[in-house]
Amino acid sequence: MVRLLHAVLLGLFGAGIVHIAILLLVPEMAERDAWSRMAMASDLYRMTRIDPEAGGPAAVGSVDPLFRAAACRFDLSDGVVRVIAPGNVPFWSVSIYNRGGQNIYSFNDRTSATGLLDFTILTPAQMIELRKDLPEELQQAIFVEAPLDEGIVVIRIFVPDESWDEVVSRYLAGISCTLI
Amino acid sequence: MLKTAFLTLLTLTIAIGGGTASLWYALRTPDGVGAVTIGGWTAFPEIGTPNADPYSKARVARQGILSLGRAEGLAFVADRDAGGAPLRRECAYRIEGSTPPARFWTLYAADGAGRVVNARDGRASALHSLELLRQPDSSFAIAVDSRPAPGNWLAVSGSGAMRMVLTFYDTPIAGSTGIAEVELPLVIEAGCDG
């Protein structure tokens, strides 16, 4: 009887260890995280719609029916990434995620002086290099320093009503995500 | 000998089975670790950030969520009315009260799995604060109903479990300081079918 109790207690103790071990392993081992789902849908540096309206990968991005979203995967070890969008929309917001889908940095249209979406993602080391000789076309850009290699940038746009649908779709289709 | 083998097997079964089952349960419970609950509404201000707890991190990785950032917004979810009863799609509700400061907010109904509940006849399945009809003191009331209602009407359809999702965009409360003092509207039941 004592030995049975001992076995059960040992089992419960082991259950605690297994619980914690799996919990800490899940983020590393997950095969269906945002990056993997997006990798199935498109290449690096390709802006892809991720909202359910456009048949995006389920659950990734915004589920809010009044929002449309597009995302682009990048790898800063290849170089500096610049994202530009033409035109104006009622509200846009940008989030930068690391490889594991954690939100590293976010900002919205109030951050930009002109309301235009034009920003550059780079590592602190690349920032030092770029500061030495800032190209003319980057004078107005927002610089986002992110200490990471692989990452995802997501742009979310508010659609106040149906009449904005086409404007927002055109806006999202016009966003470029390129290496410079 | 056989007894030792049995006890070892028992220990291993409890350890592996119990550990996996308890984690599976913990990851499925919607109001788990890291949740902030205000008057029936639940939010995860830390979810998807590097500061999140291990449970939120596991949930994010498993479901492939790209959560809203601090500068974007904060979503509150309610699955119970002010009386504590679970929300159902065949019932009508009134949502009234005040909201914390934000540039705008959106409200939609989701089913048990988090999918948006579509209204019949292609009606809009969400409301936002910029199109809302308000009282002179800027308070508001929203009718959540499968039948048309005067004033602000959020159309729903079908039957089964329902959650209300209220998302504030560009709001100071997303910076989690003082989030506990935020006042959110009440969800009040206004009658059910059948």
- The DSSP line for B91-155 is EEEEEEE---S-SEEEEEEEETTSPBPPPGGG--SEEEGGG----TTS-EEEEEESS--SSEEEE
Contact A91 B69 (CB under 8 A): no
* Chain-chain contact of A14 with B12 (C-beta, under 8 angstroms): yes
Contact A91 B169 (CB under 8 A): yes
Q: What's the pLDDT band for A58 if we cut at 50, 70, 90?
A: low
Instruction: Provide the pLDDT for residue A158.
Output: 92
> What is the interface size between A and B, counted as CB pairs within 8 Å?
186
Q: Name the CATH superfamily housing domain B34-192.
A: Domain of unknown function DUF1214, C-terminal domain (2.60.120.600)
As a whole number, the mean pLDDT across chain A is 86
C-beta atoms of B18 and A18 within 8 A = yes
- Test the A interface: residue of B72, B111, B163 with most A CBs within 10 Å: B72
Domain boundaries, chain A: 1-30, 34-179
* Structure confidence at residue B117 (pLDDT): 84
Tell me whether residues B14 and A11 touch, CB distance under 8 A: yes
B52 and A CB contact within 8 Å: yes
Min Cα distance B23 → chain A (Å) is 6
DSSP letter for A88, please: -
Residue A59 has pLDDT above 80, yes or no: no
Q: What is the pLDDT of residues A160-180, one digit of tens each?
A: 988 888 999 999 999 999 888
Does the structure's ipTM exceed the value 0.85?
no
Question: Across the strands, what pairs with B36?
Answer: B43
Q: What is the pLDDT of residues A82-112, one digit of tens each?
A: 999 888 888 999 999 988 888 889 988 888 8
Where residue B6 falls (left for φ over 0; alpha for ψ -120 to 50; beta otherwise) is: alpha
Nearest to A161 by CA among B128, B150, B151: B128
Min Cα separation A96/chain B (Å): 9
Q: Percentage of chain B surpassing pLDDT 70?
A: 95
pLDDT above 70: residue A56: no
Whether residue B66 has pLDDT greater than 80: yes
What stretches of A99-158 adopt beta strand conformation (E)? 103-108, 118-122, 142-145, 150-158
> Would the pLDDT of A139 be above 80?
no
Q: Domain A34-179: give its CATH code.
A: 2.60.40.1610
Helix (H/G/I), strand (E/B), else coil: B184 = coil
A87 to chain B nearest CA, in Å?
20
Q: Write out residues 116-175 of B within 8 Å (CB-CB) of A.
A: 116, 124-126, 128, 130-131, 165, 167, 169-170
Minimal C-alpha gap between B69 and chain A (Å): 5
Tell me the whole-structure pTM to 2 decimals: 0.85
Which of A3, A18, A50 minimises the CB distance to B7?
A3
